[in-house]
Amino acid sequence: MKYARSFSLRLALTYVGLFLLSVGLLVGSFYYVSVYRPHEALKRQIRREALQLEQIYAVDGEAALITALASRAEERGDRAAFHVFIGPDGDLKSANIPTWPSERGEQWLDLEADIYTEGAEYDQHAFALDVGFDNGARLMVGRDAEDLEELRELLGNGMVWLVGSSLFLGLLGGGLISRAIGVRLEQISKAAIQVMEGDLAGRVPVDSSNDDFDRVSQTLNQMLDRIEDLFASVRRVSDNVAHELRTPLARLLADIETLEAEYPSETNPEVKRIGTEVRRLQKIFDGLLRISRIEAGRHALAFEPIAAATLLEDLKELYDPAAEELGGRIRIEDVPSDQFRGDRDLLFQALTNLIDNAIKYGAPEPDISLSACHKDGSACFVVANRGPEVSEHILRRASERFFRGENASQKPGEGLGLPVVQAIAKAHDGSMELSHANGVTEALFCVPWRPVS
């Protein structure tokens, strides 16, 4: 259906329309010169002959008219002469065509005047003028117009076939062109969507045709290569900074712990604040290094059988005290009984971050549900919690590094929890999505279902 609305199909149909218009003008001009003008000249000739015969009848009488008609019929010329003369009493006086209308009607008549000679038929078409006299007599005078009639029929039938075949071929060609162009545009669109979803390795396929689409695809791929290089450079800088500062931070933290031991925080709040900030800084660098290792593939995935029920039970046991301390609860809902393969430590870490966020940013008394399911070839975990409204803007940007919503500034955290979850999902070729509806925020974490053999 989308090809029926495509620009290429409309362009093809426009071309067919212009082609038919040009052919119509050409055929119309040919018809005017070859049919219409000769037909009008024949009408004028027949009028002159009918007028002469009327004068003969008026002046010399019926016998002279019959003689003139017989003489006219025997003439040899380009067009055979035809006539019918009916007297005032309705009797046929003279005729050289087989049939005609019994009553007068149209002034100009198209009459069949076929001749049968020695078992053969000779097609003739009489174009005649029907003249009535005051005394009731009737005269039909005509000439053979078979060639003009055949040419008119030929042009009419030809136009019907031409229009029909042109429309059919135009629709067929337009559909094929539209499909071919649509396939190439779909490839470009898929690559763009892949990049928009965060996979900078997405590229537009290029074949060996070296056509316009290939050149556009090559240009787009060069642009995507450059963008990927720039992102990689930024990521390397942040990763290198985090790695280089890790040892100095560890030494600084050791010195801070020594100071905290010598100068208690009750009497030296400055030492406590310094220790808090240094520990926060170390968490940030640890988070960046963790994301870097996962994204760079330096953390080899250790696949092992995982029971979703056991994994969620361990998470519930870990976070039950924190939820109960705030007057809330964590409950486990639907969980599949079969096992799948995955990196248990990374999955546990990802779900830990999601539950931690649900406790920090949910309702004051946490109401968190954990569930899992086998959906569309994926093992999906859902962490849902009741809490304040979350805008679409925040949901879209939540997995960006260091991003924190307007209401998160007073909460502990560095803005690296969800980026770690996203990195773990991608390492498993999975996905992580956030949504909010009816006061419930849901985090859907899915990884491919790898069955246990």
- Tens of pLDDT along 79-124? 889 999 999 988 999 998 888 888 888 889 888 877 666 556 567 8
Q: 102-115 burial, b if ≥16 CB within 10 A, otherwise e?
A: eeeeeeebebebee
CATH of 303-448, one of 3.40.228.10, 3.30.565.10, 3.40.50.2300, 3.50.50.60: 3.30.565.10
Which is more confidently placed, 443 or 268?
A: 443
Q: What is the pLDDT of residue 124?
A: 80
In this prediction, residue 290 carries a pLDDT of 67
Q: Which residues pair with 109 in a beta bridge?
A: 128
pLDDT of residue 239: 63
- What would the pLDDT profile of 151-207 be if each residue is shown by its tens digit? 888 888 888 888 888 778 777 777 777 777 778 888 888 888 887 776 777 788 887
Residue 47 has pLDDT above 90, yes or no: yes
| Total number of residues shown for the chain | 453
Residue 2 or 348, more confident: 348
Rounded to an integer, what distance in angstroms lies between the CA atom of residue 226 and that of residue 220? 10
Which pLDDT value is given to residue 298?
A: 59
Q: Does domain 212-295 have CATH number 1.10.287.130?
A: yes
- How far is residue 262 from each of residues 25, 249, 258, 272, 436, measured CA to CA in Å? 104, 20, 6, 12, 49
- With a CB cutoff of 8 Å and minimum separation 6, the contacts of 192 are 202
Separation in Å, CA 365 to CA 103, 110, 127, 324, 384: 104, 99, 102, 8, 14
Q: What is the pLDDT of residues 7-20, one digit of tens each?
A: 777 777 787 788 88
Closest CA to 147 of 139, 155, 136: 155
- pLDDT band, very low/low/confident/very high, at 138 (cuts 50, 70, 90): very high
With a pLDDT cut of 70, the percent of the chain lying above it is 85
Q: Evaluate if residue 139 carries a pLDDT over 90.
A: yes
Write the pLDDT tens digit of every residue in 284-323.
666 666 666 666 655 667 788 988 888 899 988 988 888 8
Largest CA distance in the chain: 153
What single letter denotes the amino acid at residue 166? Answer: S
pTM: 0.48
b (16+ CB within 10 A) / e for 145-155: bbebbebbeeb
Which residue has tokens 């669109």?
189
Instruction: Check residue 130 and give its pLDDT.
Output: 92
3-state secondary structure of 429: coil
Residue 405 binned pLDDT confidence (cut-offs 50, 70, 90)? low
pLDDT of 43 reads 92
Does residue 424 contact residue 294 with C-beta atoms inside 8 Å?
A: yes
Measured in whole angstroms, the distance separating CA 256 from the mean position of its chain's CA atoms is 62
Residues 235, 224: Cα–Cα separation, whole Å = 16
Per-chain mean pLDDT for the chain: 81
Q: Tens digit of pLDDT for each residue in 60-79?
A: 999 999 999 999 888 887 88
Tell me the domain boundaries of the chain: 3-151, 212-295, 303-448
Report the pLDDT averaged over residues 268-289. 72
Spatial distance between the Cα atoms of 379 and 354, rounded to a whole number of angstroms: 16
Mean pLDDT calculated for residue range 242-260: 74
The least confident of 39-43, 252-256, 378-382 is 252-256
Average of pLDDT values for 369-388?
88
DSSP 8-state class, residue 78 = S
Q: Is 154 helix (H, G, I), strand (E, B) or coil?
A: helix
Among the CATH numbers 2.60.40, 1.10.3470, 3.40.50, 3.30.450, which is that of 3-151?
Answer: 3.30.450
**pLDDT of amino acid 18:** 83
Q: What is the pLDDT at residue 21?
A: 84
Residue 302 burial (C-beta neighbours within 10 Å; 0-12, 13-18, 19+): exposed
Average pLDDT rounded to a whole number, residues 128-136: 90
Residue 51 pLDDT exceeds 90: yes
CA angle 243, 423, 426 (to 5 degrees): 140
Please state the rounded mean pLDDT for residues 362-383.
Answer: 87
Strand 367-375 to strand 329-332: parallel, antiparallel, or no bridges (unpaired)? parallel
